């Protein structure tokens, strides 16, 4: 299994697990919280079938990556991703992120620019700025995140079912677009994540990406479900689409947060259509 070393904690290395399949133009997929690169199960075959080289990876603390007790912030996540990209010497690649992974798209470009990146895709987006403040009145009240942190600290494993219920809108979609087995599998993956990493990432969600987004000068696609209960479209995708010059917003009707599984056909169609477009980078932006 391939790993890339991104640092050390005391006597142990911090390593990211990744998978690298196919040939052609690279597509890097960054997963959502609290899952792993395996969450792209419905997208990887479609991308490979369309002739792309597909790289998935597990964020530090999640999946098969190392589980250190620090580094759960977007500055470190950007560094980790940069180490993977430079180790594989990826160029002219599309960077695709779902949920928390969409923050890595913004954070990576904000820190390292778009020299190597050809396109950006934000799915179930977290940027531009989730927290409600005086200059961000459409954000989410901070008490919501404090409640999430308290619930995770009290009983992380008991918290996960309620989170997944809203991740997939199970009251409406269970047995129709997502099975009990998929939900249980997601619980298993999430349960295996770092307890501290799971908790610390909630604070990372409140990162203000608004300045970093000014560096996104490549063709960009935003895909969001209009029934997303985790990251409501009005607080995320809609303002994000206005901040990125020329970005296209594709709204998935009835889509929950977990659209990569529940609405995979619609998502894949939007993604493949966008990746197949040959649009030059806006170097003037």
20 is catalytic: no
Residue 181, class by beta-carbon neighbours within 10 Å (0-12 exposed, 13-18 middle, 19+ buried)?
Answer: exposed
Asked whether residue 195 is domain-assigned, the answer is: yes
φ, ψ of residue 90 to 5 degrees: the values are -80, 135
SS3 label, residue 254: coil
Asked whether residue 280 is domain-assigned, the answer is: no
Q: Which residues pair with 94 in a beta bridge?
A: 27, 119
Domain containing residue 186: 3-275
Which pLDDT score is estimated for 197? Answer: 98
Active-site position among 66, 228, 235, 263: 228
Whether 30 and 81 have beta carbons less than 8 Å apart is answered as yes
Domain CATH number, residue 255: 3.40.50.1820
Which pLDDT score is estimated for 281? Answer: 42
Question: Rounded to an integer, what distance in angstroms lies between the CA atom of residue 276 and that of residue 280?
Answer: 12
Asked whether residue 145 is domain-assigned, the answer is: yes
Rg (CA), the chain: 17
Asked whether residue 110 is domain-assigned, the answer is: yes
Which pLDDT score is estimated for 277? Answer: 75
Which pLDDT score is estimated for 1? Answer: 66
pLDDT in tens, the chain (285 residues): 699 999 999 999 999 999 999 999 999 999 999 999 999 999 999 999 999 999 999 999 999 999 999 999 999 999 999 999 999 999 999 999 999 999 999 999 999 999 999 999 999 999 999 999 999 998 999 999 999 999 999 999 999 999 999 999 999 999 999 999 999 999 999 999 999 999 999 999 999 999 999 999 999 999 999 999 999 999 999 999 999 999 999 999 999 999 999 999 999 999 999 999 754 444 333
Domain count, the chain: 1
269 is catalytic: no
Q: Are strands 53-57 and 26-30 parallel, antiparallel or unpaired?
A: parallel
Question: Rounded to an integer, what distance in angstroms lies between the CA atom of residue 254 and that of residue 221?
Answer: 19
CA 249 to chain centre: 16
Asked whether residue 284 is domain-assigned, the answer is: no
Asked whether residue 213 is domain-assigned, the answer is: yes
Asked whether residue 150 is domain-assigned, the answer is: yes
Q: End-to-end CA distance of the chain: give it in Å, rounded.
A: 40
Active-site position among 99, 102, 220, 241: 99
User: DSSP class of residue 265?
Assistant: H
135 is catalytic: no
What's 150-173 look like in SS3? HHHHHHHHHHHHHHHHHHCCHHHH
Asked whether residue 267 is domain-assigned, the answer is: yes
Whether 188 and 238 have beta carbons less than 8 Å apart is answered as no
């Amino acid at each position: 299994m391939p790993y890339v070393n991104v640092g050390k904690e005391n006597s142990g290395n911090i390593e990211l697990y990744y998978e690298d399949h196919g040939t052609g133009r690279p597509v890097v997929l960054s997963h959502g919280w609290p899952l792993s690169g395996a969450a792209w199960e419905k997208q990887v075959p479609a991308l490979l079938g369309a002739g792309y080289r597909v790289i998935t990876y597990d964020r530090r603390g999640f999946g098969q990556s190392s589980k250190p007790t620090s580094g759960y912030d977007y500055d470190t996540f950007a560094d980790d991703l940069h180490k993977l990209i430079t180790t594989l010497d990826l160029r002219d690649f599309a960077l695709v992120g779902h949920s928390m992974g969409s923050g890595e798209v913004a954070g990576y470009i904000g820190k390292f620019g778009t020299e190597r990146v050809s396109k950006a895709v934000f799915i179930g987006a977290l940027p531009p700025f989730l927290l409600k403040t005086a200059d961000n009145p459409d954000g989410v009240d901070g008490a919501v995140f404090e409640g999430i942190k308290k619930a995770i600290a009290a009983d992380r494993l008991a918290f996960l079912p309620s989170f997944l219920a809203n991740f997939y809108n199970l009251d409406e979609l269970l047995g129709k677009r997502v099975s009990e087995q998929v939900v249980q599998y997601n619980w298993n993956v999430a349960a295996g994540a770092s307890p501290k990493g799971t908790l610390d990432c909630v604070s990372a969600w409140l990162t203000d990406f608004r300045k970093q987004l000014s560096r996104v000068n490549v063709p960009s696609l935003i895909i969001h479900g209009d029934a997303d209960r985790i990251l409501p479209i009005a607080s995320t995708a809609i303002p994000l689409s206005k901040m990125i010059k020329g970005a296209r917003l594709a709204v998935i009707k009835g889509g929950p947060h977990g659209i990569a599984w529940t609405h995979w056909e619609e998502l894949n169609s939007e993604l493949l259509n966008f990746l197949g477009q040959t649009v030059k980078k806006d170097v003037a932006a």
